[in-house]
Chain A
Amino acid sequence: DAGVIQSPRHEVTEMGQEVTLRCKPISGHNSLFWYRQTMMRGLELLIYFNNNVPIDDSGMPEDRFSAKMPNASFSTLKIQPSEPRDSAVYFCASRLAGENIQYFGAGTRLSVL
């Protein structure tokens, strides 16, 4: 299995632009998680889906952030408009039902100038 696949690996954009991060979970996994990693705040859970349905989005920092999971093999995290303080590494992780282990992708490093 290829594992969790995230794209792009790096994204550089200007303040005010829309940014879309993509994630393909491991086939057969039914839970998907979006995390943000910064030096100041560490690894933070933004939102997670179960069977494509958003369950808990309490970690989404503000309305500029939105996430979707249109099917079991694809999810997006969108930031509109982006701000410099959004600069971070964003990770996607997936999990098989009944198991505790979360498998992480390699992350997307976002820089907002």
Chain B
Amino acid sequence: QQQVKQSPQSLIVQKGGIPIINCAYENTAFDYFPWYQQFPGKGPALLIAIRPDVSEKKEGRFTISFNKSAKQFSLHIMDSQPGDSATYFCAASFTPRLTFGEGTQLTVNP
């Protein structure tokens, strides 16, 4: 079953907080794990991605942690800002197909 489970469904933090979004997958054939960010009225846009041979990847305030044995990965947003308020989707790829998680609606309050 090519599913990706994402939690939580929604998340509210204060400015400067560190929201964490978690995802779990089943298919060990997945070879690429991106996170997409979507603002209202826009299409999803790639935020950051990781391959399964790496345990952590950091780009600016965004970090992916990857646990291959547990088949889990997570997104951390350091020093979150109101402009980070959006819906975040994890995904897993068996190239070229992407299977998306259910999405997390993040609200960062000022």
Contacts and interface: CB of A to CB of B under 8 A. Distances in A.
Interface string B66-98: 000000000000000000000001000101111
B96 A107 contact: no
Interface of A: 4, 31, 33, 42-43, 45, 48, 50, 56, 91, 93, 95, 100-107
Nearest to B36: A104
B98 A102 contact: yes
B97 A56 contact: yes
Contacts of A95: 96
B46 interface: yes
A92 to B, nearest CB: 8
B102 A42 contact: yes
A106 B98 contact: no
Among B36, B96, B102, find the residue whose CB has the most chain A CB atoms closer than 10 A: B96
Contact of B43 (A31, A48, A101, A106): A106
18 contacts: A4-B43, A33-B96, A42-B103, A43-B89, A45-B98, A48-B96, A48-B97, A91-B43, A95-B96, A100-B32, A101-B34, A101-B49, A102-B46, A102-B96, A102-B98, A103-B46, A104-B45, A105-B43
Contact of B49 (A45, A50, A100): A100
Contacts of B96: 31, 33, 48, 50, 95, 100, 102
Nearest to A40: B102
A91 B44 contact: yes
B73 to A, nearest CB: 15
A67 B24 CA distance: 32
Contacts of B46: 101-103
B41 interface: yes
Contacts of B43: 4, 91, 93, 104-107
